[in-house]
Amino acid sequence: MSSPGLLLLLLLLAPRPLRPSLLPRPDTAEGKATLAGLILSALERATVFLEKRLPEINLDGVVGFQVLEGYESNSLRSVRTACCAFEQRQHRGLARPVAHPVEHAVSPPVQLTGVQEEWARDPLLQPLGLRAGRLAGTLALLLRRALFYLRLSDPRYLKEFQPAIQPGLWKLPKTWTRTNASLVYPTFEPEDSFSEESSDSCLALLLGTGMDSGQPCGLSDFCRTLMTKPGCSGYCLSHQLLFFLWARLMGCTEGLFHQSQSYIDLYCANMMDLNQRDDAVGFVYPAQDIFMENIMLCGIGGFSDFYKLRWLEAILNWQLPQEGCFGGRGADGAAKDVRHQEHLSRRVKRREKQFADGCSSHKTAMAVAALGGFLYVLAAYPAATGEPLPPTPSPSPPGSS
């Protein structure tokens, strides 16, 4: 069988016609180590920001760090298991394998492939597993503390969406595919009619946590119409994807949910098109938040073509180096006026938490979740053995089967 590692590696290496990335290529141990180090440094700074602002962060901001914690734990388990396997071979005859100081920070390791063992053997890459382990342990503690503050600041919203910040919902992809450009809408509808309140009510009905909800996998006629409306863009589109992505992760399969994967294919194809448009115009400020949200959600959906080296470079450059957060600042370092941003073409998230120093709770959450995906790709699926790429199947549009 063809290896998914080769697919992901070639996607990271794929040439871009516009301003090629200055980051090192990940086809060598040195390149992988440099990229992983850059990502971990950004995530460590963002985690310091989370710790400082923990009483003020809202639930939407915590979600991104929960996704990151899942990526960190899985990436660490990949490296740690390979380390242990290698050490046991090297230390045969000893009563017990050499222990690492992060063993108790994560759940039990999972089985690895031979390629992952090769990474763990490399002295340039091995220390990154220990560094990721320390970060995963810190995040686990901070996320538990975040629940305390969220119960005080927004108990109703927490009740409805607490599953989104608990381990278990965000299952990371085990297989990968690519988006299909033939599914892109000919035109997009304006976002003016999108109601985040209506979307939230449908998500709570799906989770089984809303005021009128009973069991999970709930669906009303109104939500069916809202979540399958064609031509959406921006946050309307990302919420549609989130709805069917959660349905798939939760194991909802009845009725409309039987077509969840078809809708995921459709929505991520359009999110890829919108991200490419954002890339073409230079990632203007209002688009950065939804750009990273698209990477986060479609990455979890298993679409490897969102992990482009050029896009990684852009996200790393958006971090405010002193604060560790992501937000709005011009080239002169001055914080952007949030009220002015509301008049721009991209709508502002209703529950956004914008700090006086320019830090954005939601944008930081989307950034760390997207960066966690890039780290997961590097850690769990390194360079492959040279097998040919598998053919990419063409997804069928929803309702065609």
What pLDDT was estimated at residue 14? Answer: 52
Cα 188 to Cα 233: distance, rounded to the nearest angstrom: 6
Cα 92 to Cα 76: distance, rounded to the nearest angstrom: 24
Asked if residue 202 belongs to a domain, the reply is: yes
Asked if residue 164 belongs to a domain, the reply is: yes
Cα 178 to Cα 301: distance, rounded to the nearest angstrom: 10
Main-chain phi, psi angles of 359, to 5 degrees: -70, 140
CA 280, 286, 288, 294 torsion-angle sign: negative
All residue ranges of the chain with pLDDT < 50 are 1-4, 6-7, 10, 15-16, 79-119, 330-350, 382-395, 401
**Two tokens, residue 203:** 């998500």
What pLDDT was estimated at residue 22? Answer: 86
What pLDDT was estimated at residue 401? Answer: 45
Residue type, 382: P
**Two tokens, residue 56:** 């003020």
Asked if residue 152 belongs to a domain, the reply is: yes
Residue 197 C-alpha from the chain's centroid: 23
Asked if residue 129 belongs to a domain, the reply is: yes
Residue type, 358: G
Residue 267 C-alpha from the chain's centroid: 16
Cα dist from 20 to 12, 70, 119, 278, 294, whole Å: 12, 30, 27, 15, 21
Asked if residue 388 belongs to a domain, the reply is: no
Place of tokens 């040439």: 15
- Which residues neighbour 207 within 8 Å (Cβ) at sequence distance 6 or greater? 160, 161, 163, 164, 213, 216, 246, 250
**SS3 label, residue 326:** strand
Domain that holds residue 120: 4-380
Give yes or no for a contact between 63 and 164, defined as CB atoms under 8 angstroms apart: yes
Asked if residue 391 belongs to a domain, the reply is: no
What pLDDT was estimated at residue 99? Answer: 33
Asked if residue 389 belongs to a domain, the reply is: no
What pLDDT was estimated at residue 195? Answer: 85
Tally of domains within the chain:
1
Asked if residue 65 belongs to a domain, the reply is: yes
Nearest in space to 300 (alpha carbons), one of 376, 388, 190, 195: 376
